[in-house]
Structure 1
């Protein structure tokens, strides 16, 4: 995604906004300048863009809050805690697949909506900036001024909507059907479920080491300060021919750490490596994988 940078409509506009506290802008031009210098400043736009990119690259998983299990009958007897393995073994696979399909659609709709909101925020701010530059001339056209005022309110609304949805984690999920099959011997609990967002996996470019026959790879999760435990990753290795853009599949592996060494490579050859979270039964949506192309050293040199 291309980075978008927006400037204030005047060189001293932002400085005056930061130095002077005002209760409300005196006119439409001031309102537009305030928006461009605060909510839609260069830094704010880049932060919004990074949040959107993070959500687009994240993996989404279905989770069940067992502590909130509620019997579906009038018998309000508490249900003893179950292990995670036991709980998932009781879930009907067909019902789970239908639930995951519904949840996947919900994620795709949300990501599409966020993308549209972001693009409309950018285009709206550009329109407002152009109006502010020609403010005195534009005021002669009452329709243009009214349109700009309406666009200003629309941009504010879209920014609030974007920020409200971008931090939606965990995401509530309204189940259309029970995940457990009915039994004649025991009440079937309703399973409160939601989706959690797991951060994207990114290669550490500077941490990779290459020899004539091996490559040391390492990666991290975006925004993390400390590695998350119990994470499993999938690594794929392909020989890559950049001149003809061809790939030759070589190997796949899973890894429970944040690094791996790939050996038995040919010298002076290009290889493409990819890393992603390993698929799981409760994975709803997670197409993102990071790729890295490296060339092994020439053994003759």
Structure 2
């Protein structure tokens, strides 16, 4: 009689075979996890993800209005309407504009919340995968770990892919329920669309900012930019941290369109808190970041 290959006829036999299969896959899972921890989940890669998330969280987001009924030009900015323009402002229905700004604010908050949750899951996954590598090297990993680690590996990799896709994905147009300019039926109205624009956060250049006995020299830049945007208005606050006897400290609120400023008439040997941010615009929908540094004026008695 020809020999035939019998299938498992008992639960014990099937269980033993499954145990051997799981143990055989452990080295492969170990190598896959180790490779991922050395590449896309390395300490440097995680630091990059954290920095990208912080940039998104500290950026300013604006509602931009474009005309869709014009022929596209080489300079697309010509088709972008500025809400600060009095003519545009008079045409737009203010109730609909407020709704669009609220909608844009919600979209930004949802995006930042999602990115934050994805980052937390990536960190949690890293810790579990690193713990598995440590136990594996100590010979403390059992067969029951194989399936769970394979699943955690795939989940963490998916979180990384989702995070990177969201970071590079255009914020996209807003799906407005109503046209911002109501149709009165008398004259043709321009066809408008709305989208979100992002500007990187403003940060002090701490290596350049300095003091004398009665002045501070402040320098700042746009994070992640190799060039300086022109005609960008900034708001600077300089506040004394050493109030005078009557309880009031010096406070300066200044605006400028350059990337540096000199503040004079300060008191020597005093601490001053200096802050910089972009000036709030009418189309700003989200922007919480304000960079601050503390500088001390020189003591002229020394």
Match of 2:188 in 1: 187
Closer/same/farther in 2, CA of residues 81 and 219 from structure 1, 3 Å limit:
closer
Matches within 5 A, 1:96-175: 96-135=97-136, 137=139, 139-142=141-144, 144-175=145-176
Contact kept, 8 Å, 2:237 with 2:252, in 1: the verdict is yes
Q: Secondary structure at the match of 1:205?
A: coil
Contact kept, 8 Å, 1:233 with 1:278, in 2: the verdict is yes
Aligned equivalents of 1:61 and 1:296: distance in 2? 37
Closer/same/farther in 2, CA of residues 83 and 40 from structure 1, 3 Å limit:
closer
Match of 1:199 in 2: 200
Q: Secondary structure at the match of 1:44?
A: helix
Closer/same/farther in 2, CA of residues 102 and 260 from structure 1, 3 Å limit:
same
Q: Secondary structure at the match of 1:192?
A: strand
**Residue 53 (structure 1) shift:** 0.6
Closer/same/farther in 2, CA of residues 81 and 238 from structure 1, 3 Å limit:
closer
Unaligned runs of 5+ residues in structure 2 are: 1-25, 71-77
Deviations 1:68-116 (A, max 9, x none): 248xxxxxxxxx9786423344222222122111111111111111111
Alignment of 1:275 onto 2:271 = no
Deviations 1:39-90 (A, max 9, x none): 1012111111110010011000111222x248xxxxxxxxx97864233442
Aligned equivalents of 1:188 and 1:150: distance in 2? 55
Aligned equivalents of 2:121 and 2:79: distance in 1? 47
- Name the Cα RMSD after superposition: 2.4
Q: Secondary structure at the match of 2:207?
A: helix
Contact kept, 8 Å, 2:66 with 2:81, in 1: the verdict is no
Aligned equivalents of 1:54 and 1:227: distance in 2? 17
* Count, aligned residues: 263
Contact kept, 8 Å, 2:66 with 2:79, in 1: the verdict is no
Q: Secondary structure at the match of 2:295?
A: strand
After TM superposition, the runs of 4+ consecutive aligned structure 1 residues lying more than 6 A away are: 80-83
Aligned equivalents of 1:83 and 1:174: distance in 2? 18
Point out the more displaced range, 109-118 or 88-97.
88-97
Match of 1:253 in 2: 254
Alignment of 1:41 onto 2:36 = no
Aligned equivalents of 2:97 and 2:237: distance in 1? 28
Q: Please give the TM-score of this superposition, normalised by the length of structure 1.
A: 0.81
Aligned equivalents of 1:31 and 1:121: distance in 2? 16
